[in-house]
Amino acid sequence: MSVPDYMQCAEDHQTLLVVVQPVGIVSEENFFRIYKRICSVSQISVRDSQRVLYIRYRHHYPPENNEWGDFQTHRKVVGLITITDCFSAKDWPQTFEKFHVQKEIYGSTLYDSRLFVFGLQGEIAEQARTDVAFYPNYEDCQMVEKRIEDFIESLFIVLESKRLDRATDKSGDKIPLLCVPFEKKDFVGLDTDSRHYKKRCQGRMRKHVGDLCLQAGMLQDSLVHYHMSVELLRSVNDFLWLGAALEGLCSASVIYHYPGGTGGKSGARRFQGSALSAEAANRHRPGALTTSGINPDTSTEIGRAKNCLSPEDIIDKYKEAISYYSKYKNAGVIELEACIKAVRVLAIQKRSMEASEFLQNAVYINLRQLSEEEKIQRYSILSELYELIGFHRKSAFFKRVAAMQCVAPSIAEPGWRACYKLLLETLPGYSLSLDPKDFSRGTHRGWAAVQMRLLHELVYASRRMGNPALSVRHLSFLLQTMLDFLSDQEKKDVTQSLENYTSKCPGTMEPIALPGGLTLPPVPFTKLPIVRHVKLLNLPASLRPHKMKSLLGQNMSTKSPFIYSPIIAHNRGEERSKKIDFQWVQGDVCEVQLMVYNPMPFELRVENMGLLTSGVEFESLPAALSLPAESGLYPVTLVGVPQTTGTITVNGYHTTVFGVFSDCLLDDLPGIKTSGSTVEVIPALPRLQISTSLPRSAHSLQPSSGDEISTNVSVQLYNGESQQLIIKLENIGMEPLEKLEVTSKVLTTKDGISVSGFPLSSPFRQVVRPRVEGKPVNPPESSKAGDCSHVKTLEAVLNFKYSGGPGHTEGYYRNLSLGLHVEVEPSVFFTRVSTLPASSTRQCHLLLDVFNSTEHELTVSTRNSEVLILHAGECQRMAIQVDKFNFESFPESPGEKGQFANPKQLEEERREARGLEIHSKLGIRWRIPSLKRSGEASVEGLLNQLVLEHLQLAPLQWDVLVDGQPCDREVAAACQVGNPVRLEVRLTNRSPRSVGPFALTVVPFQDHQNGVHNYDLHDTVSFVGSSTFYLDAVQPSSQSACLGALLFLYTGDFFLHIRFHEDSTSKELPPSWFCLPSVHVRAVEVQA
Amino acid sequence: MAVCVAVIAKENYPLYIRSTPTENELKFHYMVHTSLDVVDEKISAMGKALVDQRELYLGLLYPTEDYKMFRKLHNSYTDVMCNPFYNPGDRIQSRAFDNMVTSMMIPVC
């Protein structure tokens, strides 16, 4: 016997073996249909007793195993059922013949046999035969089960007769020696009369009867027989049979103790009848005993409880039996099966350690050279048994060996499918699930070396199965979960083969369903590359949307009437934690920055990397990147365009690496840092692009400026120089521009430079060209300090606020800022300023010391004076004759200035205005011919109070008219000798109060041009009327005049000195207010 | 002399494994892995029996091993665990432990 039945279990000892086989050509489908029905009749309660018969059906049984039927009767084929097709009466004899041939095979042991004929009808079928049953077809055969029951009953009758026959063998009769096939030759020529031999015959026969009793449902009897047999055989050292007797004892005890069975699957089925079997056997024992006819004394001596082994004893006896079996090489199958049966018993007893010892022993039993299929079966069953005793790793180990056996090189047609299936079954044993999520939390905890091996094998098996998608999935899983354990070379190899597979079958995110019901979840490559940080980026400053201020209040207060409520605060806090407080704009490219790194020892090419979003229709613009080997953190920006508005959530990203598509969700990534992933998308807005006539500069404004400047221009200017800047705004967005607001802001600079405002023009055109004039002015302190060579900077910001389209209706706008950076180099300085009175009271001379601080030759010109040339670093004085200024007329002009209540500020304003006035009057310009640059120079800053007073027109304006001609020149007024000359003194009061009355005396004199003034002119000049004039009080801003007349008696040049009477002048008024022009009169002869 | 020394975490993965014939390391991996079934069994049996919890030595997997070897190994393992820079659950990379294992693997004669 060489073919072990790995499915054997202890309770099989009580079964009758019936072989069911097809004869002739019977389709497998039909055969198994009938076979199944036959198998359903597995236990029969015998009609006239309470005993139960158990039947074991086999459709295949090696006849050589049948030869061991005497050794253990459950191995003996006692029944044969043949199934055949026969459609015509003509074939019938032939069919029947075949049946007989089939019977011959097991002929020696058969108790009875049956032939089931399907298809035959007619007179042959009419005949009633016990051994043949006819059925018209495979459907119409309700009587099959009944037939089988009858058949089993007939088997029982034979069995019972045999049992009785053997049991009642008189001791006088010669008991035949039962033996196993390989023993036969050993007993040739043995003394059959020896006591020893007889005992051996008796012992073996007892054992045989025990077997029969067990099969016949007489458990207690069998125990008795086995016990006796053990005694007999032990005394003659018949070890093989002693082993069998012990095993019989064990089997019977197991059946008694474990009515549920030890065989696992079949156990449930058996269970229904099992209660009955144990109970019934006990209850009916006395009756059974009497019918059995065994020597009554033995059965009474050995009590029931004694007969049956305790659970512990069962194992001991099994051990003993196996040790006896192991003495015989030819009994390997028996030993192996005994081991398996013992393991099943131990599994029930939950004694895993001992079970493992039995199994270990079974592993070492070498039968003969096994066929590949037998090896697979052997390993599978070992695996199952290890599983049974809870040794999952060992089970997995053997299952894997079995799987490998399926595809051993010696097999012509490797069973890759079976191999793959078996490998999948080993997964739990290696604590490996195929769901990458189980590995994503924390570090990998598992036996990487063996798990990796298994994954490699799965990959290979699935490839050989012709399922590349499966290989890709397994390989991806290997790469994803075992990355930390792969050596650099392995990483290369794995990725290489992955790329090979994916070139034919790209990896997807679809779960793969396996035929066995297992589903392989997708494997996203969250480690290729590893993402450490995800940050949603705000739009660039120039594109950032802002909410109109007026609308801001709306969405804040509508929700609740309370200003503060802890509940609301809590909710908001929660929202805020996820939602980022900036907005994206529909239709505009939005960015998400990922910090990634490549854990691979080679360059990693990531293709088709894009964002996975929800909430808003989003057009992702995938990027391809190449990360250098084992890169550090590497920023990657993923972009996309939201197509609709609402709240967008960035859930993750997708990649294609090595041909595998991955959707990596942020929630599944361990150790990722994210500052929120939800952002609001607002409706589309127009988009302006700015370009300027000046080149852009990298120079950014001081960080303290607070504004985010999108564009910067920078220019270098000399102090006083102007530069025109043309700004072109272009709407490059899809939405119309509906509103544009331009504002400017000068940032206070460290150097205290002030600038005149930007004149801006036409803000309501699509393209505006404001003229910007930066006009830095000399700071006052620079005249004192020596830092005049110091370059100063000026910074200013131009803001374009614009909106349009749907975003405008929602109340959003954008702000575009242009930063201006001006470096101001010094040009000319006025180091000193002073005044000299001019000949006219309405004028004076301004003396300026001009210093050229540039390195170039420079010309300075005023509105009406000649050009002054200054060499580099040269200082010259220039005198400018200026009309005096009437400051009082304008200081209040800008209405808003009135707001300043502070008189100091008011004074400051006034002073500034005066400066401007003076500046524009003077119109001092400089020019650097070599550079072709020119600009203005201003004296504003350095005009001190004294100079200002000198430059100022007195509020009381005195005019002297000679003959109706105003007389305030060098030029002399001409008059005729002998004719009275009208002299009029006119006072205009521009001061805010009334002045006067005044008394004036006109004193004529002659200037001899040698320093001598001749006042003694009584003979030459005569007054018509009084020489003293009186002026009444003059109200503010009104005029008053007094008239007189002079008569020149001789020709000559005369000067009139108009003097105030001491007593009439108001003491409180400053003397400069009473500055009257001197009058020059030339008296000539009357031309006749 | 030991052929293979392994320290296994309670989650059943190797903290440390080293074998002298380096060419067939996987064989030892399988061997150690499958033997864990027995360890599991022994531990669960221990829980039932309520034996002295201080006795950490579970017994022999194969009858050729040396009890002293376990003490040595366990003491060294304790030292590793006492290292404040060692994260329980990480692979053991201690040089001292490694040297001790090497000394166990050198043939005694």
Question: A470 pLDDT exceeds 60?
Answer: yes
Contact between A260 and A267 (Cβ < 8 Å): yes
Residue A199 CA, chain-centre distance (Å), reads: 84
pLDDT in tens, A17-59: 999 988 888 888 888 888 888 888 888 887 677 788 899 998 8
Q: How far apart are CA A975 and CA A1046, in angstroms?
A: 10
Instruction: Write out the H or E segment, with its range, that includes residue A225.
Output: helix A219-236
- Alpha helices, H only, chain B: 25-49, 67-82, 95-105
Report chain A's mean pLDDT, rounded to a whole number: 77
Contact between A651 and A665 (Cβ < 8 Å): yes
The amino acid occupying position A574 is E
Residues 6+ apart with CB under 8 A from A428: A392, A396
Question: A825 pLDDT exceeds 70?
Answer: yes
Q: Do B45 and A353 touch (CB under 8 A)?
A: yes
Q: Provide DSSP, A276-336.
A: HHHHHHHHTHHHHHHHHT--HHHHHHS-HHHHSPPHHHHHHHHHHHHHHHTT-GGGHHHHH
The confidence band for A302, taking pLDDT boundaries of 50, 70 and 90, is very low
For residues A442 and A839, the model is more confident at: A839
The tokens describing A708, both together, are: 């985010």
Q: How far apart are CA A340 and CA A337, in angstroms?
A: 5
Residues 6+ apart with CB under 8 A from B65: B2
What are the chain B neighbours of A354 within 8 Å (beta carbons)?
none
Question: What pLDDT is recorded for position A685?
Answer: 87
The amino acid occupying position A4 is P
Lowest mean pLDDT, pick from A28-37, A481-490, A903-912, A1065-1074: A1065-1074
β-sheet bridge partners, residue A642: A618
Q: Which of A996, A988, A987, A981 is nearest to A1056 (CA)?
A: A981
ipTM of the complex: 0.79
Residues 6+ apart with CB under 8 A from A63: A105, A106
Query: How many residues can be counted in chain A?
Result: 1088
The confidence band for A1044, taking pLDDT boundaries of 50, 70 and 90, is confident
Grouping H, G, I as helix, E, B as strand and the rest as coil, residue A367 is: coil
Q: Do B13 and A392 touch (CB under 8 A)?
A: no
Separation in Å, CA A222 to CA A251, A255, A294: 10, 11, 11
Q: Do A430 and B33 touch (CB under 8 A)?
A: yes
CA distance B104 to chain A (A): 23
The contacts found for A888-891 with CB under 8 angstroms, 24 or more apart, are: A888/A955, A888/A990, A888/A991, A889/A990, A890/A917
Q: What is the dihedral of CA B83, B86, B90, B96, to 10 degrees?
A: -50
Question: What pLDDT is recorded for position A97?
Answer: 87
Q: How far apart are CA A880 and CA A845, in angstroms?
A: 5
The tokens describing A162, both together, are: 């045999």
Q: How far apart are CA A235 and CA A677, in angstroms?
A: 87
Question: What pLDDT is recorded for position A67?
Answer: 83
**CA nearest to A397 within chain B:** B34
Q: How far apart are CA A283 and CA A291, in angstroms?
A: 14
The single residue listed with the structure tokens 């029905």 is A37
CA distance A416 to chain B (A): 22
pLDDT in tens, A605-636: 888 888 888 888 888 888 888 888 877 888 88
* A389, A431, A450: best to mutate for the B interface, most B CBs within 10 A: A450
Q: Do B33 and A386 touch (CB under 8 A)?
A: no
What pTM value is reported for the model?
Answer: 0.67
For residues A270 and B63, the model is more confident at: B63
pLDDT in tens, A543-569: 888 887 654 444 444 455 666 666 655
Fill in the DSSP letter of residue A703: G
Q: Do B37 and A392 touch (CB under 8 A)?
A: yes
What are the chain A neighbours of B47 within 8 Å (beta carbons)?
none
SS3 content of chain A, % helix, strand, coil (to 5): 35, 25, 35
Question: A367 pLDDT exceeds 80?
Answer: no
What are the chain B neighbours of A397 within 8 Å (beta carbons)?
30, 33-34
Q: Do B37 and A353 touch (CB under 8 A)?
A: no
Question: What pLDDT is recorded for position A855?
Answer: 83
Q: Do A356 and B37 touch (CB under 8 A)?
A: yes
The tokens describing A333, both together, are: 């199958």
Which range, A170-184, A391-405, A1055-1069, B14-28, has the best average confidence (pLDDT)? A391-405
pLDDT in tens, A729-771: 888 888 888 888 888 777 655 444 444 444 444 333 333 333 3
Lowest mean pLDDT, pick from A150-159, A323-332, A368-377: A368-377
% residues pLDDT > 90 (chain A)? 2
Q: Do B34 and A394 touch (CB under 8 A)?
A: yes
Residues 6+ apart with CB under 8 A from A707: A701, A745, A797, A799, A817, A819
Backbone torsion region of residue A264, taken as left when φ is above 0, otherwise alpha when ψ lies between -120 and 50, otherwise beta: left
CA distance B14 to chain A (A): 6
Fill in the DSSP letter of residue A1071: G
The confidence band for A573, taking pLDDT boundaries of 50, 70 and 90, is very low
Contact between A66 and A107 (Cβ < 8 Å): no
Q: Do B34 and A453 touch (CB under 8 A)?
A: no
Find the CB nearest A449 among B29, B37, B45: B29
Query: How many residues can be counted in chain B?
Result: 109
pLDDT in tens, A315-324: 899 999 999 9
Contact between A602 and A698 (Cβ < 8 Å): no
The confidence band for A443, taking pLDDT boundaries of 50, 70 and 90, is low
Q: Do B89 and A390 touch (CB under 8 A)?
A: no
pLDDT in tens, A372-416: 888 888 888 888 888 888 888 888 888 988 888 888 888 888 888
Q: Provide DSSP, A817-844.
A: EEEEEEEEE--EEEEEEEEEE-SSTTEE
**CA nearest to A452 within chain B:** B26
Residues of B contacting chain A (CB within 8 angstroms): 9, 11-14, 17, 25-26, 29-30, 33-34, 36-38, 40-42, 45, 89-90
Rg of chain A, C-alpha, whole Å: 62
Q: Directed axis angle between helix A28-39 and helix A144-167, to 10°?
A: 60
The confidence band for A896, taking pLDDT boundaries of 50, 70 and 90, is very low
Find the CB nearest A356 among B29, B38, B45: B38
What are the chain B neighbours of A447 within 8 Å (beta carbons)?
12-14, 29, 33
* A363, A447, A481: best to mutate for the B interface, most B CBs within 10 A: A447
pLDDT in tens, A105-126: 888 888 888 888 888 777 777 7
Q: Do A450 and B41 touch (CB under 8 A)?
A: no
Question: A1033 pLDDT exceeds 70?
Answer: yes
Q: Provide DSSP, A738-805.
A: -EEEEEEEEEPPTT---BPPPP---TTSSS--------B---HHHHHSS-TT--EEEEEEEEEEEE-H
Grouping H, G, I as helix, E, B as strand and the rest as coil, residue A353 is: helix
Q: Provide DSSP, A483-530.
A: GGG--HHHHHHHHHHHHHHHHHS-B-SSPEEPTTS-EE-----TBTTE
- Strands (E) in A586-710, as ranges, are 590-597, 604-614, 618-621, 623-627, 634-642, 646-657, 660-665, 673-674, 678-682, 688-692
Lowest mean pLDDT, pick from A78-82, A735-739, B11-15: B11-15
CA distance A393 to chain B (A): 5
Q: Do B29 and A446 touch (CB under 8 A)?
A: no
Question: A890 pLDDT exceeds 70?
Answer: no
Neighbours of B49 (CB within 10 A): 8
Lowest mean pLDDT, pick from A10-14, A318-322, A352-356, A1017-1021: A1017-1021
Residue A701 CA, chain-centre distance (Å), reads: 36
Q: How far apart are CA A515 and CA A517, in angstroms?
A: 5
Q: Do A390 and B29 touch (CB under 8 A)?
A: no
What is the spatial order of strands in the sheet that A590-597 belongs to?
A618-621, A634-642, A590-597, A530-536, A673-674
